[in-house]
């Protein structure tokens, strides 16, 4: 670990805490920051009273920042990074901890996502456009008690807007460059005295904007996304509330747009598929087939809250979700006219069904808030994945017989998996005094997987032998949390916590041999120690929160490729890295400088390290940084709001986003990293005097920065880099009945 940096981080937090305890003479300003209400502990609380590192954004903040997807949330949350290899496989990392495996027997995220309390079980479910949200909360660090399943890196808690008793309607239309069009709307209101309903929809289109230098008829980058959600809120009495929700969403895009020359241009690396081809622009490809990506998700949930007495509430969340995913991507970034040996398409088709049930009992006494419950989850996933190899005239260079020219050979892994998860949990907060609270939480989790995999050898680059295997494995673990929070002053609180996390093991999908297919990787465990500060200063005009943490991981699951001499092009497999550490400092501040001008700032410093690597061939990389863990990342934003003489209002928001270099492999290959980048965004809005109309002009990536959305060095291929979005701008018009 970089101990000098760690000591610096300690001094930063110590200075912050000292600053918070200063007696600041408040100047009556007549304005202050609004309270932020979160449900990070499964109950409504002021953000400043929650002893957890939480970033919260309400509907207004999401709209003002133009956030429409999880990547937008990650860019504005300290310690949160998101890789976007493709829509069907988003990669979420908090404090350097995440996962990007996608097999049927091991495709869970380490950063768990929830919508209205329902777990999103497959990674593809996190790629949908965000709409109709009342708030988003990002909980950083292991959440092994109340949130439970696989939330070892953190949790993203999204809450939709509830149906209103009064009539409410809104409609939004937007357009921009690259053929961008968006349409969103909602209708909500009372249906009877006890029943309210709501329907919302969202549609987003964008044209293909990435050209191929190899074939002028091939274009990529476009998308076509649709979402709809319907809810019924039934309140039969003062003590019972029932919310029925149903949703559907689809996301169709062209395939990933690998530019095989970016590695050579940016990092001095050579990609064997493109080193001899004509030079192309940063946002171009050499594809001869655009490929495709498709994600479809749907679900229904029933949430019931029953106040059994004045102090005790029973809550139930029942849910069913289904996710269908399919893609076919050219993983060389070139066609046969450029690289004549072969053309490779990686493909998958997956269907996953999940049934979950949570029962939670909570209550209050004069000195104790408590909650306890049980959780059950059943998932069934079928996934066919592999590679299609179209043999070209240069095939004999790799020893492929000449008579196979023009033939497509397929390596295929046909996977089936069923997972049963059960857990029992409890958490109790005891007010020792008016200034000291102590929280104790515990959870016991057990997970069992029944896995089957049939491997078919085509060309023998991924799958080197035919196999048909079945395997069963189970994992169980108690996790706990101990927190003490102390009120330094009326508006300043410090907390210290120790928390553990657990993520079950699993099985790899595209395996080279029967042994690899039937051998499970182990569960991972985490212990997080954290010291934090929550404060409101300067007459409630400055919200200043900070945390310093150190997390130790055992059997950390990482995706990597090991050249073992068996596979020609070795598939990515999930490995247990041994031990790893992640430590750092996170700071979030919001300052209301005047009644019209607000500044916000967040910063994360990360010091991460693989301390022990047990896998053969990786020992030499001990001491390297974790994946998607930039050492420094920050976001600065200024928001100016001004009432106009005509009764309308003008709003301007400008922000700057910075990320240091982020490695994408255990080996910390420079060629396969996402280089340091900076992005600037600007949004200007006018609201009419009756507050029914709003028109906004916006531009993202205002400097047209060339940056990478994803990058990786695949042994046997070379650098597989995907360019991020160029400058994009547009206008959005919104009408609201209220």
| pLDDT for 9 beyond 50 | no
Q: Which pLDDT band, with edges at 50, 70 and 90, does 4 fall under?
A: very low
Question: Which of 675, 626, 676 has its CA nearest to residue 153?
Answer: 626
Q: How many CA atoms lie within 13 A of 368 on its CB side?
A: 10
Across 479-483, 518-522, 580-584, least confident range: 518-522
337 found inside a domain: yes
What order of strands is seen across the sheet that includes strand 97-98?
80-84, 90-94, 97-98
Q: Is residue 336 within a helix (H) or strand (E), and if so which, with residue range?
A: none
Q: Could you read off the pLDDT of 336-375 as tens digits, one per residue?
A: 777 777 788 889 999 999 999 999 999 999 899 999 999 9
Mean of all residue pLDDT scores within the chain: 88
CATH number at residue 501: 2.40.170.20
202 found inside a domain: no
Do 502 and 556 touch, CB atoms closer than 8 A?
no
Q: Could you read off the pLDDT of 194-233 as tens digits, one per residue?
A: 999 999 999 999 999 999 988 889 999 999 999 999 999 9
Q: Is residue 264 within a helix (H) or strand (E), and if so which, with residue range?
A: helix 262-267
What is the reported pLDDT for 599? 97
Give 244: exposed, middle or buried? Use CB within 10 Å, 0-12, 13-18, 19+.
Answer: middle
Q: How many domains does the chain have?
A: 1
Do 277 and 334 touch, CB atoms closer than 8 A?
yes
Find the distance separating the first CA and the last CA of the chain, reported in whole Å.
54
Q: Could you read off the pLDDT of 600-653 as tens digits, one per residue?
A: 999 999 999 999 988 777 888 899 999 999 999 999 999 999 999 999 999 999
356 found inside a domain: yes
- What is the C-alpha to C-alpha distance for residues 669 and 269, in angstroms, rounded to an integer? 10
What is the reported pLDDT for 394? 78
- What is the C-alpha to C-alpha distance for residues 555 and 557, in angstroms, rounded to an integer? 6
203 found inside a domain: no
Q: Could you read off the pLDDT of 254-287 as tens digits, one per residue?
A: 998 888 777 544 444 445 555 556 778 889 988 8
Domain limits for position 263? 3-191+209-287+300-736
Q: Could you read off the pLDDT of 539-588 as tens digits, one per residue?
A: 999 999 999 999 999 988 887 766 555 555 666 778 787 899 999 999 99
| pLDDT for 25 beyond 70 | no
223 found inside a domain: yes
196 found inside a domain: no
Q: Could you read off the pLDDT of 639-688 as tens digits, one per residue?
A: 999 999 999 999 999 999 999 999 988 889 888 899 999 999 999 999 99
What is the reported pLDDT for 57? 94
672 found inside a domain: yes
What is the reported pLDDT for 265? 41
**Nearest-5° Cα angle at 280, 278 to 284:** 140
Across 178-187, 452-461, 492-501, least confident range: 452-461
Contacts of 362 (CB under 8 A, 6+ apart): 42, 43, 312, 313, 315, 369, 370, 371, 372
Do 349 and 325 touch, CB atoms closer than 8 A?
yes
Do 360 and 371 touch, CB atoms closer than 8 A?
yes
Tokens 């400043």 sit on residue:
48
In DSSP terms, 447 is beta-bridged to 421, 475
Contacts of 287 (CB under 8 A, 6+ apart): 212, 214, 215, 218, 220, 255, 257, 258, 330, 333, 334, 335
340 found inside a domain: yes
Average pLDDT over residues 148-155: 85
Q: Please give the residue that has the higher pLDDT: either 92 or 17.
A: 92
Highest mean pLDDT of the ranges 131-135, 148-152, 312-316 = 312-316
Coil/strand/helix, residue 404: helix
């Amino acid at each position: 670990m970089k101990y000098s940096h760690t000591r610096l981080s300690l001094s930063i937090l110590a200075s912050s805490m000292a600053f918070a305890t200063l007696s600041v003479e408040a100047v009556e300003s007549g304005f202050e920051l609004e309270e932020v209400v979160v449900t990070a502990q499964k109950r409504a609380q002021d953000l400043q009273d929650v002893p957890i590192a939480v970033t919260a954004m309400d509907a207004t903040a999401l709209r003002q920042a133009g956030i429409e997807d999880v990547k937008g949330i990650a860019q504005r949350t300290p310690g949160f990074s998101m890789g976007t290899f493709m829509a069907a496989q988003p990669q979420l990392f908090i404090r350097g901890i995440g996962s990007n495996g996608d097999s049927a027997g091991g495709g869970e995220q380490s950063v768990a996502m929830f919508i209205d309390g329902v777990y999103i079980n497959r990674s593809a479910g996190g790629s949908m456009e965000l709409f109709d949200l009342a708030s988003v909360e990002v909980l950083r660090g292991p959440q092994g008690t109340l949130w439970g399943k696989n939330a070892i890196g953190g949790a993203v808690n999204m809450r939709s807007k509830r149906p209103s008793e009064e009539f409410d309607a809104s409609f939004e239309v937007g357009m921009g460059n690259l053929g961008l069009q968006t349409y969103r709307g909602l209708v909500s209101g009372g249906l009877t005295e006890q029943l309210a309903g709501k329907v919302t929809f969202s549609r987003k289109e964008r044209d293909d904007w990435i050209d191929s230098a190899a074939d002028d008829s091939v274009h990529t980058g476009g998308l076509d996304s649709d979402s709809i959600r319907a809810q019924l809120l039934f309140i039969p009495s003062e003590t019972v509330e029932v919310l029925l929700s149903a949703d559907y969403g689809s996301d169709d895009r062209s395939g990933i747009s690998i530019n095989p020359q970016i590695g050579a241009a940016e990092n001095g690396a050579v990609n064997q598929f493109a080193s001899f081809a004509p030079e192309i622009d940063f946002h171009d490809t050499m594809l001869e087939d655009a490929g495709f990506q498709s994600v479809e998700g749907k679900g229904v949930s029933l949430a019931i809250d029953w106040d059994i007495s004045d102090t005790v509430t029973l809550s139930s969340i029942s849910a069913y979700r289904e996710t269908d995913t399919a893609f076919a991507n050219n993983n060389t970034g070139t066609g046969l006219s450029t690289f004549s040996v072969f053309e490779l398409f990686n493909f998958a088709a997956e269907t996953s069904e999940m049934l979950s049930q949570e029962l939670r009992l909570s209550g209050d006494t004069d000195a104790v808030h408590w909650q306890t419950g049980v959780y059950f989850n059943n998932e069934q996933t079928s996934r066919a994945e592999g590679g299609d190899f179209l043999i070209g005239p240069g095939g004999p260079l790799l020893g492929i017989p000449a008579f196979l020219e023009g033939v497509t050979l397929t390596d295929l892994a046909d996977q089936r998996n069923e997972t049963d998860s059960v857990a029992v949990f409890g958490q109790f907060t005891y007010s020792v005094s008016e200034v000291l609270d102590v929280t104790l939480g515990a959870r016991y989790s057990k997970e069992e997987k029944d896995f089957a995999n049939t491997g078919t050898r085509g060309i023998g680059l991924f799958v080197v032998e035919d196999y048909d295997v079945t395997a069963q494995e189970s994992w169980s673990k108690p996790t706990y949390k101990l927190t003490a929070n102390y009120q330094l002053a009326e508006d300043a609180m410090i907390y210290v916590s120790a928390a553990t996390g657990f993520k079950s093991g699993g099985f790899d999908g595209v395996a080279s041999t029967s042994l690899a297919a039937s051998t499970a990787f182990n569960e991972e465990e985490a212990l997080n120690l954290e010291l934090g500060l929550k404060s409101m200063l300067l007459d409630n005009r400055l919200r200043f929160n900070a945390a310093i943490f150190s997390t130790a991981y055992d059997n950390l699951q990482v995706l990597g490729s090991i050249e073992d001499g068996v596979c020609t092009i070795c598939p990515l497999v999930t490995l247990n890295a041994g031990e790893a550490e992640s430590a750092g400092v996170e700071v979030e501040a919001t300052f209301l400088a005047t009644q019209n001008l607000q500044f916000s700032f967040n910063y994360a410093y990360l010091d991460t390290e693989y301390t022990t690597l047990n896998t053969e061939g990786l020992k030499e990389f001990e001491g390297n940084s974790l994946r998607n863990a930039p050492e420094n990342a920050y976001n600065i934003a200024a928001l100016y709001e001004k009432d106009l003489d005509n009764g309308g209002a003008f709003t301007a928001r400008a922000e700057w986003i910075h990320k240091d270099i982020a490695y994408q492999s255990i080996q910390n290959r420079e060629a396969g990293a996402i280089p340091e980048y900076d992005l600037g965004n600007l949004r200007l809005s006018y609201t009419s005097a009756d507050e029914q109309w709003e028109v906004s002009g916006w531009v993202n990536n205002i400097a047209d920065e060339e940056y990478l959305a994803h990058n990786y060095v695949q042994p046997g291929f070379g650098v597989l880099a995907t360019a991020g979005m160029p400058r994009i701008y547009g206008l959005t018009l919104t009408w609201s009945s209220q």
